[in-house]
Structure 1
């Protein structure tokens, strides 16, 4: 049975454009011999639509587009479209996360999502009522089981005691007899998840003894990035076909054949996957929010260097403006390194010295601060001067301001609110400092020359807000810091477990304390692109005013 996996890049809420993209893909696939087309989860409205789902008019508009799509595609093969639908016969305002079958000019619900995730970035019980069972449709004599994303992630044999739900809707459906299973997904990217996803889907296919067709969306929506990599697993659990990662594709596959189709290569290096994800996330955030390009501050440090490289790749160097804002504490090397980076990337640049503005602030505050020593207050003023300059550039030129802070800094509050935290998107906000270095070294190696100057990689990290300042004056070594943060934030370990892993108790206590105290800053940070299992974004919900000793 020839199936088309419609791996598309929807814009959340743009129903007309999304419907048009689906229609175009279906026509192309039908012409190529497809007997069934399958979209990703909520492809009509884009994932995640969040509180748009609370608006009755939005749900009604989705239904209208489904009906029009069904009529428009009446002469094409059947299509399973992911969409929110009002649940007929249920209580008012009840909405289901559904797979809708478009066939012969009619749109009918083929199945609804049974398992609604409420962990990490997911909050589907806020919006949906769970379905009673997975769907089952017949196409060309084949019994096709229809599941949606989470429904396939609860295999008892694969997860054992770690499965999240008491029942397995896919197993229940398979017991009724199916020839193949399709799964409409919107599963966000995180480093290492693709290997787990393929392992899990292969185990499900082998257990139920039928091919599994998995369709994932692609693209960036706010903080989430979707890699696509839609695939077909054979009845023995073997990977038979896979779409390319991080790009839209219509993959035609003979789902019930021994060899379904082409298997697109997948970059094995974590640095390559992170690069692809951040480039896609940056490109889509700017485009979907209507920005003409990007602006960022160039400090001569490694963080701003990597963000500049990502922006140039995502948006084109001609659409990226790097702003150098030297102060009396900026080293000559940092300025020279920024100039070299600009030349290597071919981006536009401006130089705006901040010393005159620093003097103005000193004069304005001299009476209020009389008799008090200079401290972090004056350092933060420098950062906020730069933030104001960058926001002015963003406003004037219609470019999104990209912040350059990394996850390590954001975790412990080594950043200035309304200063270097000002902006529209945190490109590397989920990248620990040690991974920033790894990605930069990888980038230089694949480019074949030092696009990021060697001096940037070799110099000691510094905010350069006072003479001879170094990050290690305020923070533990980044290798130590990042390991503690990984254990505490991602693995959710407390102090006792982290100390047992070999870290000094006072170091751990200090780092965890910094994480807690910085929560108010993170609440006011721009969206940060998620690439790890747990990011400071929609899946992080720590209280600000709280006391808890780990």
Structure 2
């Protein structure tokens, strides 16, 4: 018998790469929440169980077997009569590896669906392209599953219109588990693809995205649902984990929903939130105890400090001023003021002896950019060493960013030029990301933001920050 009411729980969650047990535990928690809400189905994002898209661990038979074992365990738990589970996982069948979504219901693996339109790069390298298939039956409702790029707007000889196939084979509702990275204005492109598929199929669509940072990528969540008339049925927030249950009802015009609609942050607010989330998850998922930040008293150092405190709280941030014998008192005072405004501990560590040791090994004195590079290298090496003593992450800015990244540090301001640097600093003084752990209000000195700075490229800006910190 066809149902007239159907509840779907969207689990917009933050998995960890390779942590199959931990990700399965998050799936269990989401299912318990769904059961409490009276849901029929809980949906988790694309490749959720593995926690990463298609890196080399996915190719290992032992990893694939562990994913299957976890899926089978989750399936057995659905014998309790609670919600069915649709979860993304790598899946091996007939010797081929697929990017799959698996339906778990009534104590068994009820069905599998494979991604047809694989993204360029690792996904095409690792996974086998799956066929477009018909809908799944869940509690009498025919659910069409399209995974990630299966709803993209590509038009080529290799592209499979999965939604068209689903509509032609009787789907009533399209569900799209995804794993989409944050890019500026990326939400507009996602919405355009969803609108196109709803328009051509005349079916409502639910798009569920992962949230969180992993290995330099940030996934922004911002899951949504559209009714068949293109009205917004639900909008989940960006950059935070969220579990929400949507109540759908069937009328003369098909399935309709009126769920929560959150106003998303956009533009540079979203850029800032993405960097906070990426830094926080890099620390937490790699087991660091906190952050050791190289302070220079320059604007980039102040913005990196604000990001660090917003990500982890002041108690897990330590500032270090690695100063040469000629470092100006003004630079030292500015660095201390940065720490005071944000409430984290800071100290000065002289580097003159280390620099002199390198210079004594050289046949002659260095000048200009070559000396700046030496100073930056000394700074990065000492910062990494200080961080390693406490199991913390070294956060690098300015001229040390490239060197520090190679050495294992983290550069939260990567890709930001001088103009955007100032805009983000001014933004943080008047706005605080809702999930931030730092204080509200003016946390970066306006004098740093408005101080004159000649037009120059990012490398020149980095050299300026290095020379400010290591004068003499």
> TM-score scaled to structure 2, two decimals?
0.88
Counterpart of 2:243 (choices 250, 260, 267) is: 250
Q: Indicate yes or no: 2:6 matched with 1:6.
A: no
Range with greater deviation from structure 2 (40-49 or 208-217): 40-49
Q: Contact 1:134/1:170 (CA < 8 Å) preserved in 2?
A: no
Equivalence for 2:41 = 36
The 3 A distance-change label for structure 1 pair 20 and 179 is same
2:209 aligns with one of 195, 216, 220: 216
Which of residues 90, 93, 110 is equivalent to 1:84?
90
Q: Please state if 1:436 is matched with 2:421.
A: yes
Q: Distance between the aligned counterparts of 1:66 and 1:325, measured in 2? A: 50
For 1:452 and 1:171, how far apart are their aligned partners in 2? 52
Alignment correspondent of 1:513: none
2:181 maps to 1:188: yes
User: Cα deviations across residues 324-382 of structure 1 (Å, max 9, x unaligned)?
Assistant: 122245333322211111000011111012233333333332xx12xx66343222111
In structure 2, C-alpha distance between the alignment counterparts of 1:454 and 1:421, rounded to whole Å: 32
Cα distance between partner residues in 1 of 2:159 and 2:72: 36
SS at match of 1:46: coil
- 1:456 maps to which of 448, 451, 465: 448
Once the two structures are superposed, residues 273-310 of structure 1 have per-residue CA deviations (whole angstroms, 9 ceiling, x without a partner) of: 11211111111110110000011111111212111111
List per-residue Cα deviations over 1:376-424 (Å, max 9, x = no partner): 322211111211210111111110011224xxxxxxxx76754686442
State the SS of the aligned residue for 1:182: strand
Among 323, 326, 340, which residue is 1:326 paired with? 323
Is this contact kept in 2: 1:240–1:261, CA < 8 A? yes
Q: CA deviation at 1:133?
A: 1.0
- What are structure 1's unaligned runs of at least 5 residues? 157-162, 406-413, 462-469, 479-550
Summarize deviations over 1:91-122 as a string: whole Å, max 9, x none. x3x1011110101110144310001111xxx4
* Partner SS, residue 208 of structure 2: strand
Structure 2 counterpart of 1:544: none
What's the offset of the Cα at 1:433? 2.9
| Contact 2:117–2:160 under 8 Å retained in 1 | no
Q: TM-score, normalization: structure 1? A: 0.76
Paired residues of 2:150 and 2:160 also in contact (CA < 8 A): no
- Per-residue displacement from partner, 1:4-39 (whole Å, max 9, x unpaired)? 111111111111111111011112102211111111
Check 1:391–1:265 CA distance in 2 against 1; reply closer, same or farther (3 A cut).
same
Is the alpha carbon distance of 1:472 and 1:128 closer, same or farther for their aligned partners in structure 2, counting shifts above 3 Å?
A: closer
Q: Over the residues paired in the alignment, what is the CA RMSD in angstroms?
A: 2.4
1:419/1:18 CA distance change after superposition, 3 Å: closer
> Which residue of 2 is the match for residue 337 of structure 1?
334
- Deviation string 1:227-272 (CA, Å, 9 cap, x unpaired) is 111111110222210122111111111245544310122113x121
- Partner of 1:65: helix, strand, or coil? helix
Contact 2:380 2:400 in 1 (8 A): no
CA distance 1:472–1:164, shift in 2 (3 Å): farther
Identify the residue that residue 229 of structure 1 maps to in structure 2. 222
Distance 2:143 2:402 in 1: 53
Aligned pair in 2 of structure 1 residues 473, 320: CA closer, same or farther (>3 Å)?
Answer: closer
* Residues 299 and 373 of structure 1: CA distance in aligned 2, closer, same or farther (over 3 Å): closer
Q: What residue is the counterpart of 1:520 in the other structure?
A: none
> How far, CA to CA, are the matches of 1:24 and 1:225 in structure 2?
23
Find 2:281's aligned residue among 277, 284, 305: 284
Q: Which has the higher strand share?
A: 2
- CA displacement 1:170-203 (0-9 Å, x = unmatched): 2222222211100110011111111221232123
| Equivalent residue pairs, number | 444
Change (3 A) 1:473 1:272: closer
Matched, 1:306 2:306: no
SS at match of 1:283: helix
* 1:18 lines up with 2:23 in the alignment: yes
Match of 2:361 in 1: 364
What's 1:95 paired with?
97
